Amino acid sequence: MPLSKFSLLLAGLFAAATAQAQVDKLLGGATTASTLSSRYAIVTGNPVNISVVGDPAGSAKQVLRVDAKTTDTLVSGLSNNYVAPLGENTATGLRWYGLSVYLPTGWVKTDPNPVNLLTISTSTASGLPPPFAVVARGDNLELSLTSNYLATGSATAANSSNEVTRLGKITTGKWYCFVLRAEWYQALGSGKLTLWMNADKIYDSAQALNNYGTAFGNVPRAGLMYPGSTGGLNRTAYVDFVRLGGPTSYAEQMFAETPCAVEAAATFTAAKAAVK
Partner 1 sequence: MRITNSTILALALAGVVGTAAAQVDLGRGGPVTTFAKNPVTYPSVSALLSYNTTGTVRYFDDVYALNSGTTDSVKLVADPSGKARNVFRLSRLQTDPLWSSTARTEVSARNEYVIEGLRWYAMSVYFPTDWVFHASPTVVMQLHTSQKTLVASPPVSIVASGTSVNLELNSNHRLLDGTDPATKANSSTKTIRVAPLVTGKWYCFVFRADWNRNPGMGSLNVWLNGDNVYSSTNLPNSYITWLGNYPKTGIYMPGSMQVPYRNIYSDFTWMGGPTTTMAMMYAKTPCGS
Residue 173, Ramachandran bin (φ over 0: left; ψ between -120 and 50: alpha; else beta): left
Nearest CA to 176 out of 163, 204, 195, 192 is that of 195
When the beta carbons of 191 and 223 are compared against partner 1, the nearer one is: 191
Among 11, 16, 151, 188, binds partner 1 (CB under 8 A): 188
Residue 73: how many CB atoms within 10 A of its CB? 8
One-letter identity of residue 254: M
Report the C-alpha gap between 197 and 180 in whole angstroms: 9
CB of 150 to partner 1, least distance (A): 7
The smaller minimum CB distance to partner 1, of residues 209 and 261, is found at 209
For partner 1, the binding residues in 148-187 under the rule CB under 8 A are 148-150, 159-166
Which span sits near partner 1 by CB under 8 A: 82-90, 121-129, 142-150, 239-247? Answer: 142-150
**Residue 273 in contact with partner 1, rule: CB under 8 A:** no
Compose the 217-256 pattern: x for residues touching partner 1 by CB under 8 A, - for all others. ----------------------------------------
* Cβ(240)–Cβ(29) below 8 Å: no
Provide CB contacts within 8 A for 49, sequence distance 6+.
Answer: 66, 67, 68, 69, 72, 81
| Closer residue to partner 1 (CB): 31 or 144 | 144
Asked if 208 is part of the footprint of partner 1 (rule: CB under 8 A), the reply reads yes
**Residue 94, phi then psi, degrees to nearest 5:** -90, 135
Q: 109 vs 166, which CB is nearer to partner 1?
A: 166
The contact set with partner 1 (CB under 8 A) reads 148-150, 159-166, 188-189, 200-209, 274-275
